[in-house]
Structure 1
Amino acid sequence: MTTAPSRPGTADAASSLLAQELAGAVRGAVRFDTATRAMWSADSSNYRHVPLGVVQPVDADDVERAVEVTRRHGVPLLPLGARTSICGQSINEAVVVDFHRHMNRVLDLDPSSGTARVQPGTVLDDLRDAGRPHGLTFGPDPSTHNRCTLGGMIGNNACGSHSVAWGKTVDNVRELDVLLADGTRMHVGGPMDDAALDAATRLPGSEGRVYRDLVALRDRTAAMVRKDTPDLTRRVSGYNLDQLLPEHGFDLAKALVGTEGTCVTILSATVDMVESPPVRALAVLGFADAYEAADHVVPIRDHAPLTIEGMDVGVIGALRSARPDDRTHEALPRGKGWLYVETGGATRDEAHAKAEAIAKEMAFATVESKVVSDPKAMRSLWKIREDGSGIVTRGPGGVEAWPGWEDAAVQPAKFGSYLREFDSLLSKHGRTGAYYGHFGDGCLHVRIDFDLLSSAGLKNFRGFLEDAADLAVEHGGSLSGEHGDGQARAELLSRMYSPGMLQAFGDFKAAWDPDGRMNPNRVVDPPKIDSDIRVFLGQPTLRGNTQLDFVDDGVPDGTGRGGFPSATRRCIGVAKCITASGGVMCPSYRVTGEEKHSTRGRARMLFEMASGQLMPDGWRSTEMLDALDLCLSCKGCARDCPVGVDMATYKTEFLAQHYAGRAKDRPRSHWSMGWLPAWLAITSKIPGAPRIANALAKRPALASIAKKAGGIAPQRDIPSFAPKPLRRLMDVKQRDARPDVGNRILLWTDSFTPAFDPELALDAIAVLEALGYRVELPQKMVCCGLTWVTTGQVSVAQKVIARSLERIRPWLEDGVPIVGLEPSCTAALRGDSLKVLGRDHDLAGIASRSIRTFAEVLADHTDQLAEMSDGTERKALVQIHCHQYAELGTDADRAVMSALGITADVLDSGCCGLAGNFGFEDGHYEVSTACAESGLMPAVREASADTTVLADGYSCRTQIRQLENGGHEPTHLARLAAQTLGLRG
């Protein structure tokens, strides 16, 4: 079954009036614009529902005022956290109350009682950080722990990997402050005896009515609830009516957990904190297959571990396809199915011994096992499991996989049997899926290769879900064991619960929300599971070919399944891009906190732009242009996003299409910074030009005119040219006199190093020659075309790259390796050249395979480097260029520095913020410098005088130079290696 798109288009007069009244009533942002509605139209599910608008309250008073306005207008309400819901419960045609932006604080933490009071937008990791000094943590911990919110966890009754030890969210909630849709504020929680209940039913207004209705519901349904509620540790589907029973103390706080925003708006929550073992260890057990792993969880549970997670070999296949250079999976023990069993202890030895005992006991059933207690090794292994939900959405060959049957749960003792029958069901319907999950609780996570782009595919989708629901119920299970019902599951609840229970769910909701305005049509009165499918309804309508080859998204076949259409479907809302720290993604979001500056926000808008429903202007969309303006093209998302959303590439395509036939409308910086390699080439050919340019740049009036003409930020200093460019400097150094022996290697003479830091090239040549290489240079200028790529001048980039590769054709055909000194240029040759010239271009493919970083070349000689080193211990603070982080990796750099005796502190502070042309463009200075000041620059300023600041990227060195004001002078690995080997001063 299919339906028309849900409520698209521009706001009508009624919603405009609603927006005006909300803006006048609350202090937080009120956003009813097209871009916001586009970004909030999807969560992590398969569904699409365009909201009326978004309110971002700053406090509880704001929420009350917003609720009052919506009450007067009679419109639906949807309270939200981080919007990572997989079942569609965090999207609706409603006014969204977004708590993630402002109401996100830990209000109080009491170690003596082991409780914390939090606002609904509090990120789980922030709460865990607050508890850590006291040895406390919040037990439930979904894999989205660094961005999911407590309000969302309460709404979904979230669990996570440690539910074996600490239960679900419902087991850890004490009290809630809530707001009814009519504006009534209530405080609920804790067991209530008959006297307390009697008093509550006599309260005036809506509060008393709620108690009376719920008491009546309990009294007439108690026997049925006891009979029909499955006895499972992971039963999340439906409402928690069992919490109304006398044996559970009529606990309304716990009853509201898992209601998915359909009953009340949470203003604050008091939750239990649990004691966290100070040290942990991990036993990774490799089995012949995932079935065998599932068969053996029950005896492991007897050891009372903290977690028992499972993973199928399909996850590894998806990982290797998505990240070919990622070798993390090689740390796993042999097998095709794995259990991660975590143990805790007061000491490392204690935790390790517990894990060893489990591994030893299970030796009869395992292929191989491994026990680790080193925190770094554990983090590396856990990352495979935690990224699973994103990684398995793209399988080998670019196959797309989707949620749909995401988290059913059965008794752990039945899990192996369930898993075998589930795989048979997949085969019956012609589907495949890679799975992982909370095996210790009998909960399976899987992404399946559903065809959601055709009517026949949707029919198959529905048929599979119906059969899967029946299979779970046959095993005494729950349709949802963690993620709730939403639209994905609610229609199927009739297969799990009796008609009487479904009626009781409706009565429970009506007690809290008699007018049905709280997140309507979720859990109760649901829509069809195969309606409102986002990718079916939102297939691209853009005409014409793309200018780039989307090599990571399959081959376009005329059906909209490959290439750019597939790229628009990559974002599935995992939301790793809205984290506050770690990795590179997404620099501008971390500065502004604005959704449109996150990878997710931009991807959602790109999808809507491509479909033309909500954003009908297509490539000419000004909303899309605005959202991409602060994208640094850092490529961090290409590495950090679990599904590989590559916003830098999408931005290039958009700019190319947006300005097609309208060159005069391009920003001035596209002509100045975008064509910088051409200007540098001209300057290098004119004797004395660098000296004259430097002199003019130091005259404020002239510099100001030049910057204004070029669209350059007035706060920026114009970088100084080297007195002599590389080729002239090498003539001075008598290059022709150098020995013509050794293994041939071609130095890629990029545009920046020869013009600004040519001495670094001489350092690199000296080191390579000392290692026995014969270093050769192209006879003519070569360029990777990156500045034209990042400014969307694809046709020019195609000519530049093709010409450059033709100039080095003899080396490419002879199989001579190419070494690049500038990370962004090296990364461009490895990846962007294929997208710009096309995957079938002969030289682009050879160059992509031939190009190596300076460190990658040196990494083949670590023993030699160690012998040649002067033995002096050195310290380095290392800023990794974001393009190197995304496409090249850093293992070689670390190995080389270790061989040279350099103690390296590699920063995890994200992009430096300059990002090539971005930081120089007018209007970007504040964001650019804020990116640097969030981590990089404080670390540089705090570094000791004898610490070398190492930054191979010219952009990184330039940002440091301009913000450090004469402190540490950043340098390149080539310079540090030459000094260490005593080759240059």
Structure 2
Amino acid sequence: MTTDPLVRLLAETAPGLRVESEAGGTAPFAYDASNYRVAPRAVAFPRSPEEVSAALRACRELGVSVTARGGGTSMAGNAVGPGLVLDFSRGMNRILGIDPDARTARVEPGVVLDDLRDAVAPHGLTFGPDPSSHSRCTIGGMIGNDACGNRSVRHGRTSGHVESLEIVTIDGLHAIADHTGLRPADPADYGATAELEAALRGLIGANLAPIRTELGRIPRQVSGYQLHHLLPENGFDLARALVGTEGTCAVVVAATVRLVPTAAAATLLALGYDDVVDAAEDVPEILRWTPTAVEGMDSAIVATMRARRGSGSVTGLPDGSAWLYVELDGDDETDVAVRAGQLLDTLKARGRMLDGRVVDSEVQRRSLWRVREDGAGLAARLVDGGESWPGWEDAAVAPENLAGYLRDFRALLAAHRLTGVLYGHFGAGCVHVRIDFDLGSEEGRDATRRFLREAAEVVVRHGGTLSGEHGDGRARSELLEVMYSPAMIGAFEAFKRVFDPDGLLNPGVIVAPSAADADLALDVPRPQGRTTLFTFPHDQDGFAGAVRRCVGVGRCRSNSGGVMCPSYRATGEENHSTRGRARMLQEMLRGDVVRGGWRSTEVKDALDLCLSCKACSSDCPTGVDMATYKAEFLHQHYRGRLRPRSHYSLGWLPATSKLAGYVARPLNAVLRGPLGKVAAWLGGVTRRRAIPPFASRRALREVLGTAVGRPAAVLFVDSFTRAFRPQVAGAAYRVLGAAGLPCTPSSGLCCGLTWVSTGQLSVARRVMARTITRLDRGPHRDLPIVVTEPSCAAALKRDVPELLGTDAARRVAARVHTLTSALTELSTSDWIPAVPESLVLQTHCHEYATFGGPRDLLRGLGVRKVTEAEGCCGLAGNFGFEEQHYDTSMAVANLSLRPRLEENPDAVVVADGFSCATQADHLGVRAVHLAELLDPGGNP
């Protein structure tokens, strides 16, 4: 039983409230997307206003601070605190009502923005503010920061879209703030509510002059409290005044928000410039054309995206070193197109724009918007390996002052010998920048403090604000004295005191601020005492630098788009997200909250539901590769110790399957009977799946053709194909031949993947070394290597060179192709195979992350409709066969694969991965490999 009096009191006063107080449950909540780390005392997951009230009363009784948290994507340290963290994303994430006629919605604070937008889209409506984190940020977090987003030129800030807020104060009072003041949620609380409102009215009356002269000067003035909404001429709009208070005055438990109609037509212009200052000079002219968005970025972000995801990941950009995206909308497509052409002509005549174009392709528009939306993550870890940090990422000026501000700001960067990566909302005068601060040394932190003070003076000189949408948080609250008079600072203090006299709500933010360099996360220390087996060639500090890639932007918490992170999508738990796991690994290396180092059971538990899908290595803007980190951790954790049974039964499958080939028929008969269930139990394998039948050794020889005289490629017959579906090798042999790539088969080699995924890295290295020696020598050492099993192809392409670290491994990796990439890049034939009109496609996660899937190839070959089961199949190699993971495996399958199969019961299903095909088979559907689909001698 816990000895923490807070946990005991919460159990008494809110008996159904889930509270985590152990390191494994609290450590990931020590971070948001900022530079700060503050370990909480406990984390609670309320499900109702009543539980919130009970929690706040308990905290006030014990003098414990409270921090409200949504998606945890705050970049200024707004969502971390030392006391109780209330996570609203788990239990208070419901849309309570939609009124299409009134164009409003009532939501709980944990509702994700995209979920709200999806719910109101059938009514032709949307929520106007749209931060780049729209796939995971919550409405409560947007209210806390007064968030804006890419289309703020049209829709402004969140405060302009709030009708009313349901709040709970630190003493547990549940009240409703609207455009005319405050009223109780329970009539019995009328007296307390009236007293609170009277105190606020008195405060405003005593500070009319500074409020009228210092607040509300420019569109993006988010810094401080927005007390001007309480002025008599503004009707005492307490709802708007509480937006942007960052959880320092009250906790929002519900909100009624205003919706806006979606435009019938829209187009995107991409404009290229020499630099961001030239781009900013054109912004005032662009604003005359009433755009919905004017977004900017520099070349560093584009270069990083192309380096991480391939040259095809950014298409449609005109020439230039800096770019603006300008979106125009209207009721008529022709009218919008005419206006776009006229704007282009106008900007060409002004002479600053190097090149510009209307982006007609929807695919290119999505590609361009993804670059912009991933800006914070892409800028954090650039193509040259350099790291950059927030802290001064959110300043804003009036749009007409933007060019002048940027000139002075870049001069300040140069004077401090700092480099900044610029992107942001140019049309609103709000420019984000991540800077290569040295936060790991005392000298670097001192230099950072000097820079921040001077940067504040620069932006104030240009009539601007320290924060334009992220809030002041721990990063900029200390600097508010540069921006505001002592009288205004005093009014802010008095405003908070009315709501929170003891300073328990999100302390250190806005009022009585923490120093900007207090509570910094600083560098993650290197592992002590042991050398990692993976080389981590892209990270200067090895494993420590690799796990430090996670800066908390939280894209892994999205429930749609891409593949990352399947376990989070299945459970909704922070610990089961890529970010949560990365933070646990960071805490493991720090060692003060999560103890035990590589032997930590808390870290093992956090990594347990990672499917090692590798999707994060592609989908995460900073390139976190949790599959590799998990493999390294398992190697270190179990070194010299007994492992789980499945590590032996499944990890050593390539070796045991060779032996099985000699006795395939009697062995399969045994495995289908009662002894098969016993064997599964002994191997730690679930008995709820049928063990796939083994193929005989003779089967592979029978399906492969005779040797060709001058092969153009090597067909690598992996362990899974050899052991379970040799017919795929035969089909691939014929398909490659028809495509002008006659091949010579290479069997008996292994990529080592199963030993990697179970963390048996010493064995993996020995297996890999033998394979590389064979492939790097002999008469075919320069030929492309085609691998039909995507996971094995990915292992040869990435895991092998990163684990062996040799020139030979890198040479072999450069030759590796999947069947898709071979047919796309190497084919020399005009052969056109027969394909169905439509099909369902399950792309293997490793192929998606490393090579890209076969969708475009299939469409190019004539498949008119490709229905993708987006996301992981859920089996993921050994994961879905392990007894303890079966339920999660099927929960992941239910996210996309099962629905697509049920919606298309008669369709051909293509799944190149053995795991994917096995999962489909478990769901009652036979899937074929791409090779079988295209096989000129077969008929899927």
TM-score, normalised relative to structure 2: 0.96
Distance 1:231 1:908 in 2: 49
Matches within 5 A, 1:692-841: 692-699=666-673, 701-730=674-703, 735-736=705-706, 738-741=707-710, 743-778=711-746, 781-811=748-778, 814-838=781-805, 841=806
Distance 1:544 1:258 in 2: 47
**1:260 counterpart residue number:** 246
How many residue pairs match? The answer is 936
Once the two structures are TM-superposed, the CA of residue 861 in structure 1 deviates from its matched residue by 6.3
| CA shift digits 1:666-698 (9 cap, x unpaired) | 0000001000000012223x2xx1111111111
**2:567 counterpart residue number:** 588
Deviates more, 1:112-121 or 1:236-245: 112-121
**1:883 counterpart residue number:** 846
Secondary structure at the aligned position of 2:206 is classed as helix
The answer to whether the Cα contact below 8 Å between 1:79 and 1:96 also exists between their aligned partners in 2 is yes
| CA shift digits 1:897-940 (9 cap, x unpaired) | 23432235151521101101110011111111111121112212
**2:902 counterpart residue number:** 941
**1:214 counterpart residue number:** 200
Once the two structures are TM-superposed, the CA of residue 148 in structure 1 deviates from its matched residue by 0.8
Distance 1:860 1:609 in 2: 43
Distance 1:177 1:859 in 2: 56
Pair 1:857–1:204, CA change in 2 (3 A): closer
The equivalent position to 1:851 in structure 2, one of 816, 827, 847, is 816
Pair 1:482–1:654, CA change in 2 (3 A): same
What letter matches 1:933 in structure 2? Answer: N
**1:278 counterpart residue number:** 264
Matched, 1:249 2:214: no
Secondary structure at the aligned position of 1:96 is classed as strand
| CA shift digits 1:185-220 (9 cap, x unpaired) | 22111136xxx99xx9x9864323322221121111
The answer to whether the Cα contact below 8 Å between 1:26 and 1:57 also exists between their aligned partners in 2 is no
The equivalent position to 2:655 in structure 1, one of 663, 672, 678, is 678
Once the two structures are TM-superposed, the CA of residue 723 in structure 1 deviates from its matched residue by 4.4
Pair 1:290–1:814, CA change in 2 (3 A): same
What letter matches 1:931 in structure 2? Answer: V
Matched, 1:958 2:918: yes
Once the two structures are TM-superposed, the CA of residue 835 in structure 1 deviates from its matched residue by 1.6
Secondary structure at the aligned position of 1:521 is classed as coil
Give unmatched runs, 5+ long, in structure 2. Answer: none
**1:520 counterpart residue number:** 507
Matched, 1:172 2:172: no
Distance 1:659 1:568 in 2: 20
TM-score, normalised relative to structure 1: 0.92
The equivalent position to 1:117 in structure 2, one of 101, 106, 112, is 106
What letter matches 2:812 in structure 1? Answer: A
Matched, 1:228 2:196: no
Secondary structure at the aligned position of 1:515 is classed as coil
Matched, 1:298 2:284: yes
| Percent of residue pairs identical | 45
| CA shift digits 1:706-727 (9 cap, x unpaired) | 0011110121111012245554
**1:133 counterpart residue number:** 122
Secondary structure at the aligned position of 2:210 is classed as helix
Distance 1:111 1:230 in 2: 31
Matched, 1:455 2:442: yes
**2:42 counterpart residue number:** 53
Pair 1:791–1:725, CA change in 2 (3 A): farther
Pair 1:26–1:306, CA change in 2 (3 A): farther
Once the two structures are TM-superposed, the CA of residue 982 in structure 1 deviates from its matched residue by 5.0
Matched, 1:508 2:489: no
Secondary structure at the aligned position of 1:706 is classed as helix
| CA shift digits 1:65-98 (9 cap, x unpaired) | 2222223222111122111110001001121111
Distance 1:376 1:496 in 2: 43
Distance 1:230 1:70 in 2: 34
Distance 1:359 1:812 in 2: 57
Pair 1:812–1:166, CA change in 2 (3 A): farther
Matches within 5 A, 1:385-784: 385-536=372-523, 538-540=524-526, 542-554=528-540, 562-662=541-641, 664=642, 666-684=643-661, 686=662, 689-699=663-673, 701-730=674-703, 735-736=705-706, 738-741=707-710, 743-778=711-746, 781-784=748-751
Once the two structures are TM-superposed, the CA of residue 540 in structure 1 deviates from its matched residue by 4.2
Deviates more, 1:135-144 or 1:717-726: 717-726
What letter matches 2:280 in structure 1? Answer: A
The answer to whether the Cα contact below 8 Å between 2:740 and 2:827 also exists between their aligned partners in 1 is no
Secondary structure at the aligned position of 1:924 is classed as helix
The answer to whether the Cα contact below 8 Å between 1:120 and 1:149 also exists between their aligned partners in 2 is yes
The answer to whether the Cα contact below 8 Å between 2:136 and 2:557 also exists between their aligned partners in 1 is yes
The answer to whether the Cα contact below 8 Å between 1:341 and 1:355 also exists between their aligned partners in 2 is no
| CA shift digits 1:632-686 (9 cap, x unpaired) | 0000111111111111011011001101111x2x0000001000000012223x2
Distance 1:396 1:969 in 2: 42
| CA shift digits 1:834-892 (9 cap, x unpaired) | 12112xx0211001101111122212466834x4435x6532211100000111112xx
| CA shift digits 1:337-359 (9 cap, x unpaired) | 11111111224333333322322
Matches within 5 A, 1:306-317: 306-317=292-303
The answer to whether the Cα contact below 8 Å between 1:352 and 1:372 also exists between their aligned partners in 2 is no
Pair 1:22–1:469, CA change in 2 (3 A): farther
| CA shift digits 1:529-575 (9 cap, x unpaired) | 01111024x53463321111112213xxxxxxx21111121111111
Distance 2:375 2:492 in 1: 33
The answer to whether the Cα contact below 8 Å between 1:859 and 1:895 also exists between their aligned partners in 2 is no
What letter matches 2:934 in structure 1? Answer: A
Matched, 1:907 2:892: no
Pair 1:226–1:725, CA change in 2 (3 A): farther
Matched, 1:969 2:926: yes
**1:6 counterpart residue number:** none
Secondary structure at the aligned position of 2:372 is classed as helix
Secondary structure at the aligned position of 1:40 is classed as helix
Distance 1:506 1:668 in 2: 60
The answer to whether the Cα contact below 8 Å between 2:283 and 2:426 also exists between their aligned partners in 1 is yes
**2:317 counterpart residue number:** 332
Deviates more, 1:418-427 or 1:70-79: 70-79
Distance 2:698 2:879 in 1: 25
Secondary structure at the aligned position of 1:844 is classed as helix
The equivalent position to 2:833 in structure 1, one of 869, 883, 896, is 869
| CA shift digits 1:790-815 (9 cap, x unpaired) | 00000000000001111222258741
**1:559 counterpart residue number:** none
The answer to whether the Cα contact below 8 Å between 1:291 and 1:420 also exists between their aligned partners in 2 is yes
The answer to whether the Cα contact below 8 Å between 1:76 and 1:517 also exists between their aligned partners in 2 is yes
Once the two structures are TM-superposed, the CA of residue 374 in structure 1 deviates from its matched residue by 4.1
Matched, 1:360 2:363: no
What is the Cα-based RMSD across aligned positions, in Å? Answer: 2.1
Distance 2:444 2:43 in 1: 33
The answer to whether the Cα contact below 8 Å between 2:740 and 2:829 also exists between their aligned partners in 1 is no
Secondary structure at the aligned position of 1:363 is classed as helix
Give unmatched runs, 5+ long, in structure 1. Answer: 1-10, 555-561
What letter matches 1:969 in structure 2? Answer: R
Pair 1:921–1:168, CA change in 2 (3 A): same
The answer to whether the Cα contact below 8 Å between 2:933 and 2:939 also exists between their aligned partners in 1 is no
Distance 1:895 1:151 in 2: 39
Secondary structure at the aligned position of 2:91 is classed as coil
